[in-house]
Structure 1
Amino acid sequence: MTFASLPLLVSLLAAQTPAPTPPKSAPAAATAPSAVPGIAPLPGRPNLLALGVPQVPAELTERVQQYLESRAAQLLDVSSDGKQVLISTRFADVNQLHVVEMPLGARTQLTFTKEPINKARFLPGDPRHVFYFQDKGGGEFFQLFRLDRLTGRSELLTDGRSRHEELVVSKDGRWLAYAGTGRNGKDTDVYVAPTAEPKQAKLVTQVPGSWAPLDFSRDGSKLLVRQYRAAGDSDLSVVDLKTNTRTQLTPREGKGSVEEAVFTQDGQGVYLSTDRYSDFAEVYRLPLTGTPPAAPQSLTKSVRWNVDHLELSADGRKLAVVSNEDGYGRLYLLDTRTQGLTPVETPRGVISQLRFPVGRSDQVAFSLSSARVPMDIFMVDLGTKKTTRWTRSETGGLSPETFVEPELVRYPSTDGVKVPALLYRPQDVKGKLPVVVVFHGGPESQSLPSFNPQVQLMAAELGMAVLVPNVRGSEGYGKAYRAMDDGVKREQSLADIGATLDFIATRSELDASRVGVYGGSYGGYMTLAAAAFFPERIKAAVDMVGISSLPSFLQNTQAYRRDLRRAEYGDERDPAVRKVQERISPLGSVGKIRAALFVQQGANDPRVPRSEAEQIVQAVRAKGSDVWYLLATDEGHGFQKKANRDLGQTTALMFFQKHLAGPAAGPGSGAAGGT
């Protein structure tokens, strides 16, 4: 399909007719899949309910499918000898566990379940056994399992009811730790169990809040745990597993993040990445005994960016760290004896999931993605400094050379803010380009220059520019920037939407009269806010699992995360705070919305409940406007199952084509939506 063929496709779309339209701490079962009148299952897809969504044209499905067939490989672990890599990748409907035993070798599938698996670890010294988390239906009430690769059977190790996360296995293979809500369904405690008897777990934290394990000492006698209150407010403690005593390592005064932490080789200290002592997260060494220094020496002072990942080698002499430099990952090696910091050359991209083999110090593995490379696994030989690619994920038969590289831009907003953003522009397209603005979730997340098949579809194939901003409140640009939208300051962050639209108007190749907005979760809130508070400048909006009312979202999100979200958005129980939240909630300004609207939602979403989607859908319909609505009854916070995700992404593209691909028109014109 070419850009020139888009008007024909738009006319085809216009002619389409709409398709027919629990236990402790688990989410309560809904009495009906949806409260929206007129919504009905799609033919042959009883798990998908739709309202107003037309049938997808065959020619669009054919071309889109190649992009949606792209795969990715996420690093989960490396065997102790470095000869096996455990990954999560998809060959059917959802991600499953696979093992790769040589660079670019076959991916041997280990699990064959209907639900995705994205977190797992080998048992150190015995890769025949694998521990992993899995939920059902996207509800995020993850359970811990142990897979025996010899028999192919998995055993449930947790209670089957509570929510579990953050798996850590000791380097000697004797202990495992994880976090769970089993005590009261609200607080997240840390559990420790012997790997030989993993069902015999004991609580090592029983205090209010959200706690998680980070690392065992080499001898397995101590465990690092983090208490998380907000993105910029965490504390690090050490638990003596013999006495069950807990000692806080970070100062009790002030606030700061705890990005990652590992024990030193001798177990007498900790390497910690935190922004407590500066604007960016830097690496420090803290002793386990005595009073923590008021101003410890930074080991990464020369790196003027956040250090997101760190991992210690088996001999304790090398600390691998990854900095986030304007979204691109940079790998460094810190010599723990001399404290010298040396950069390591790797392919340019986004680096994550850093792993040393437990028994080796000469190689380190990581995942890497770029605009032209789906997430894949790489290994660096630290002797030769050579990087070897272990997986090569497919891109649907398309040449990566055809994909669009983003341009890094910055533009001014209010309060002296300069918003960083990634601009994807199609090549060899004449005339002004329609623009889709994509807002990330979080809100304390960051849009990164990694491979995104939907962005590439819009830019490389459909002739649309895509602008991906990191508005104030985003991670990656210092703690002051991240805190600029906290609580009632979120009202000021809406100015960044206006600044983004102003920037589009300054670029001669972009068409400010044909702008769409797209986002999931908090990005869904920003999408709805753009449509509600800048109605004359937005033609189409696609909201994926987004927040329509801040007060109702905070009241209805799962209990285990409610206080964490209040720390970010403000406490809706405070009348002054609630007044601001109501003023900046799209639901309260639904009468202003002129853009066409498409809402997608997972029925089992524990974070942003289905009610957030359905109240905005019904409010828009009540004012006489049409809206597309797609509800997946077997999904949670986003669509993970391939068939659901494919339809969600394809219909979103179809929606933008319908409303943006035609000739330039006055802002907001034709924005009633529907078919």
Structure 2
Amino acid sequence: MTTESVPLIPHSVLFGNPSRLVPEISPDGTRLLYLAPDEGVLNVWVAPVDRPEEAVVVTRDRGRGIRTYGLCHDDRTLFYLRDENGDESWRVHLVDIVTGEERCATPYDGVQARVLAHNRWHPTTMLIGLNKDRPGLHDVYSLDLVTGGLTKIAENPGYLSWLIDTDLKVRGGTRMKPDGGTAVFLDPPDGPDGSDGSDGPDGGPPPWLDVPYEDAMGTRVIGFARDGATCHLLSSIGANACRLFEVDVATGERTLLAEDPVYDVKQVETDPLTRRPQAVLFAKDRDERVFLDEEFGKDIGRIRGELALLDIDGEIYVDRTDRSGRLWTVSVVTGAGPVLYYVYDREAGHLRRLFSHQPELEGYRLSRMEPFEFTARDGVTVHGYVTWPPGAERRDLPAVLNVHGGPWARHTFAFDEEAQLLANRGYACVQVNFRGSTGYGKHFRNLGAKQWGAAMQTDLLDALGHLVAEGGIDPARVAIMGCSYGGYAALAGAAFTPSVFTCAITQCGPSNLLTMLAAGAPTRTPLQAFMHAHVGDPETERDMLWERSPLSRVDDIRIPVLVVQGANDIRVPRAEAEQIVAALAEKGLAHEYLLFPDEGHGLARPANRQAYYTAVERFLAAHLG
């Protein structure tokens, strides 16, 4: 069988609006909420929990669409976040789903709102972080959901993030240290409020936990038990991978709950009532769940059993927003089809299908991500995934090296629209978790420190070499593409190793590490020490940073480059794209430039996404065949 006999999936199906997405049960268990298009824009719909076909739209966004929402525990106030054309100045909007009245709770220009805390024990209060007074620091405000009143309750003494217990008491926060490590400041439940600065990072007692640089990405307090005296800590201190501990806040006594020698904890599933962990997920090639609560394990077992009867193999994720605990929403990611959504009735032990995120995909032949591993040139084991074209012989295929962003992130087993498009069009999609990627323990993660354009890049090349040696990929027909850090890697591939690649596609990718580090929004200022520790310090490592910048080697580029940018990007500003485009133009090098005036860091609007992937497909067809 050849790829010519596999029907082409339209861009509108892969990159248009999903049919329905992110279902949630209301806290009182009576309603079903989900995201779905209204006049072509994702909005929130509400239906009786047992009659989803009776859903009505309750929001009226006409911009980039709603992605983050929830129904508050007063059982009538819906909140959602919205920015302007990707500028990340998020505002909190409130909608009364009974009366339809809507209001913006944070109507401040150029101010970023963060929802910090809301729960069943304080149904009419939400804590919000706002950088209204100082752009680099978010103070804590209490939002009264009834009146809409905002009251500042804690001024930020230099925290990167806040620690808040289930009584909505500010207990402390985390500060970035000059060397890229972190310091955690935490009060006991009956102690002073860490928000007043008396035990803050300046001039007070030492931190509750001092986290070295090498453990900073794998160590953090993830929440408090309902009693307030116990917190739960993910920590890689004293181990390679981050482990889950239960900690007595007052004494510091720790109880180890879950660990793996190689893989970090990916997710902790917590009892909604006691706020104690019930299971831990380790993201290996596929998720591995370790149960800490027998009854929770039985429920997941029943869900798995029903899915097995339907011959469905996938990763299971549960959401328990119903206060009674009876109804759960369940997401199932098979990797070779749309995401499936169900309601699980815990009393009946029964799973009821709701919908899939894109029913039209069910009529097409898709490919599942397949894990692989290889040994890099310095002996380090590196993991990744390949999505092969369906129906094609795995021999001498054209390939696209699709590099993840972050770079402090990773590819996981998932439904990946880009991988599906590439495989459907006949390309092998190669996705590598190069050193510096998260999930594989601190040693592997920290091997990526100051290795942009160096060992992080050679891991990508070694992955290709491994797959070429196995015969699956034609080394003369390989493209490189990515967004954010992946966009940088694409430019680095074009500039540093142009003989390896046929063409490159960069979306929101830095071209000059010096200008990238000097720019960025004030909200990212607290991360400066982290960036200097992991990318490079412009004061002491200026030459290295310039040498690792694709712009410094523009004369060596001799392959076509497609440059894509959102005009309102605050993470990788527009100048990063325009300086490489100007240099390519000056040298007379083949390139294309797509600028989206109503986007930020990445593309959210369906029309823009489809325009981008139309350009990608045309570009690859022209240069890869």
Q: Same fold (TM over 0.5)?
A: yes
Q: In structure 2, what is the equivalent of residue 150 of structure 1?
A: 98
- Range 479-488 or range 528-537, more displaced: 479-488
Gaps of 5+ in 2: 201-206, 305-311
CA displacement at 1:562 relative to structure 2: 3.7
Q: Which amino acid aligns with 1:169?
A: H
Gaps of 5+ in 1: 7-58, 662-675
Which whole-Å CA distance do the structure 2 matches of 1:149 and 1:70 have between them?
Answer: 23
Alignment of 1:552 with 2:478, yes or no, is no
In the superposition, relative to structure 1, how do residues 395 and 260 fare at CA in structure 2: closer, same or farther (>3 Å)?
Answer: farther
Q: What does 1:309-388 align with in structure 2 at a 5 Å threshold?
A: 309-316=267-274, 319-326=277-284, 328-335=286-293, 344=301, 346=304, 348-349=313-314, 355-357=319-321, 359-381=323-345, 387-388=351-352
Q: In structure 2, what is the equivalent of residue 163 of structure 1?
A: 112
Contact 2:43 2:58 in 1 (8 A): yes
Alignment of 1:482 with 2:445, yes or no, is yes
Q: What does 1:352-501 align with in structure 2 at a 5 Å threshold?
A: 355-357=319-321, 359-381=323-345, 387-396=351-360, 398-399=362-363, 402-430=365-393, 432-460=396-424, 462-487=425-450, 491-501=454-464
Contact 1:422 1:468 in 2 (8 A): yes
Q: In structure 2, what is the equivalent of residue 289 of structure 1?
A: 250
In the superposition, relative to structure 1, how do residues 386 and 590 fare at CA in structure 2: closer, same or farther (>3 Å)?
Answer: farther
CA displacement at 1:278 relative to structure 2: 2.9
Secondary structure at 2:12's aligned position in 1? helix
CA displacement at 1:593 relative to structure 2: 1.2
Secondary structure at 2:46's aligned position in 1? strand
Q: In structure 1, what is the equivalent of residue 569 of structure 2?
A: 605
Q: What does 1:180-199 align with in structure 2 at a 5 Å threshold?
A: 180-199=130-149
Contact 1:192 1:204 in 2 (8 A): no
Which whole-Å CA distance do the structure 2 matches of 1:393 and 1:598 have between them?
Answer: 30
Secondary structure at 1:617's aligned position in 2? helix
- Range 111-120 or range 229-238, more displaced: 229-238
Contact 1:239 1:245 in 2 (8 A): no
CA displacement at 1:583 relative to structure 2: 1.0
In the superposition, relative to structure 1, how do residues 380 and 563 fare at CA in structure 2: closer, same or farther (>3 Å)?
Answer: same
Q: Which amino acid aligns with 2:380?
A: V
Which whole-Å CA distance do the structure 1 matches of 2:380 and 2:72 have between them?
Answer: 47
Pick from 126, 136, 154: which aligns with 1:204? Answer: 154
- Range 573-582 or range 82-91, more displaced: 82-91
CA displacement at 1:145 relative to structure 2: 1.4
Q: Which amino acid aligns with 1:268?
A: A
Any idea what the Cα deviations from partners look like across 1:380-407, whole Å, max 9, x if unmatched?
Answer: 455676554433222435425x100122
In the superposition, relative to structure 1, how do residues 458 and 340 fare at CA in structure 2: closer, same or farther (>3 Å)?
Answer: closer
Contact 1:330 1:343 in 2 (8 A): no
Which whole-Å CA distance do the structure 2 matches of 1:90 and 1:322 have between them?
Answer: 34
Pick from 228, 234, 251: which aligns with 1:267? Answer: 228
Which whole-Å CA distance do the structure 1 matches of 2:367 and 2:536 have between them?
Answer: 42
CA displacement at 1:651 relative to structure 2: 1.0
Which whole-Å CA distance do the structure 2 matches of 1:231 and 1:408 have between them?
Answer: 32
Structure with larger RCO (C-alpha < 8 A, sep 6+): 1
Aligned residues: 597
Pick from 469, 487, 492: which aligns with 1:506? Answer: 469
Contact 2:338 2:361 in 1 (8 A): no
- Range 557-566 or range 594-603, more displaced: 557-566
CA displacement at 1:578 relative to structure 2: 1.8
Contact 1:488 1:569 in 2 (8 A): no
Q: In structure 2, what is the equivalent of residue 54 of structure 1?
A: none
CA displacement at 1:508 relative to structure 2: 1.2
Q: In structure 1, what is the equivalent of residue 26 of structure 2?
A: 79
Which whole-Å CA distance do the structure 2 matches of 1:427 and 1:616 have between them?
Answer: 36
Q: In structure 2, what is the equivalent of residue 119 of structure 1?
A: 68
Any idea what the Cα deviations from partners look like across 1:322-361, whole Å, max 9, x if unmatched?
Answer: 413325334554239x999997464654566x53236234
Q: What does 1:480-629 align with in structure 2 at a 5 Å threshold?
A: 480-487=443-450, 491-570=454-533, 574-629=538-593
Contact 2:160 2:526 in 1 (8 A): no
Secondary structure at 2:541's aligned position in 1? helix
Q: Which amino acid aligns with 1:372?
A: A
Contact 1:181 1:188 in 2 (8 A): yes
Contact 1:104 1:392 in 2 (8 A): no
Which whole-Å CA distance do the structure 2 matches of 1:182 and 1:174 have between them?
Answer: 23
CA displacement at 1:260 relative to structure 2: 6.2
Q: Which amino acid aligns with 1:328?
A: R
Alignment of 1:130 with 2:78, yes or no, is yes
Secondary structure at 1:168's aligned position in 2? strand
Two-structure CA RMSD over aligned residues (Å):
3.4
Secondary structure at 2:143's aligned position in 1? strand
Which whole-Å CA distance do the structure 2 matches of 1:226 and 1:366 have between them?
Answer: 33
Contact 1:504 1:512 in 2 (8 A): no
CA displacement at 1:561 relative to structure 2: 0.8
In the superposition, relative to structure 1, how do residues 589 and 560 fare at CA in structure 2: closer, same or farther (>3 Å)?
Answer: same
Q: In structure 2, what is the equivalent of residue 648 of structure 1?
A: 612
CA displacement at 1:640 relative to structure 2: 0.4
Q: Which amino acid aligns with 1:643?
A: A
TM-score (normalised: structure 2): 0.86
In the superposition, relative to structure 1, how do residues 640 and 171 fare at CA in structure 2: closer, same or farther (>3 Å)?
Answer: same
- Range 612-621 or range 76-85, more displaced: 76-85
Any idea what the Cα deviations from partners look like across 1:242-286, whole Å, max 9, x if unmatched?
Answer: 963357985225344346623213222122333345322322111
CA displacement at 1:368 relative to structure 2: 4.0
Secondary structure at 1:183's aligned position in 2? strand
Any idea what the Cα deviations from partners look like across 1:128-147, whole Å, max 9, x if unmatched?
Answer: 21122110111000011111
In the superposition, relative to structure 1, how do residues 368 and 129 fare at CA in structure 2: closer, same or farther (>3 Å)?
Answer: same
Secondary structure at 1:535's aligned position in 2? coil
Which whole-Å CA distance do the structure 2 matches of 1:268 and 1:154 have between them?
Answer: 38
Contact 1:423 1:465 in 2 (8 A): yes
Q: Which amino acid aligns with 2:71?
A: F
Alignment of 1:307 with 2:270, yes or no, is no
In the superposition, relative to structure 1, how do residues 302 and 470 fare at CA in structure 2: closer, same or farther (>3 Å)?
Answer: closer
Q: Which amino acid aligns with 2:527?
A: L
TM-score (normalised: structure 1): 0.80
Which whole-Å CA distance do the structure 2 matches of 1:101 and 1:542 have between them?
Answer: 45
Q: In structure 2, what is the equivalent of residue 25 of structure 1?
A: none
Q: Which amino acid aligns with 1:298?
A: L
Secondary structure at 1:580's aligned position in 2? helix
Q: In structure 2, what is the equivalent of residue 13 of structure 1?
A: none
CA displacement at 1:643 relative to structure 2: 0.5
In the superposition, relative to structure 1, how do residues 519 and 565 fare at CA in structure 2: closer, same or farther (>3 Å)?
Answer: farther
Which whole-Å CA distance do the structure 2 matches of 1:378 and 1:330 have between them?
Answer: 21
Pick from 94, 97, 102: which aligns with 2:44? Answer: 97
Contact 1:103 1:389 in 2 (8 A): no
Which whole-Å CA distance do the structure 2 matches of 1:616 and 1:169 have between them?
Answer: 44
Q: Which amino acid aligns with 1:127?
A: D
Q: Which amino acid aligns with 1:288?
A: V
Q: Which amino acid aligns with 1:283?
A: L
CA displacement at 1:481 relative to structure 2: 1.5
Contact 2:494 2:559 in 1 (8 A): yes
Q: Which amino acid aligns with 2:112?
A: R
Which whole-Å CA distance do the structure 2 matches of 1:622 and 1:160 have between them?
Answer: 42
Which whole-Å CA distance do the structure 2 matches of 1:169 and 1:524 have between them?
Answer: 36
Which whole-Å CA distance do the structure 1 matches of 2:33 and 2:191 have between them?
Answer: 32
- Range 500-509 or range 473-482, more displaced: 500-509
CA displacement at 1:289 relative to structure 2: 1.7
Q: In structure 1, what is the equivalent of residue 203 of structure 2?
A: none
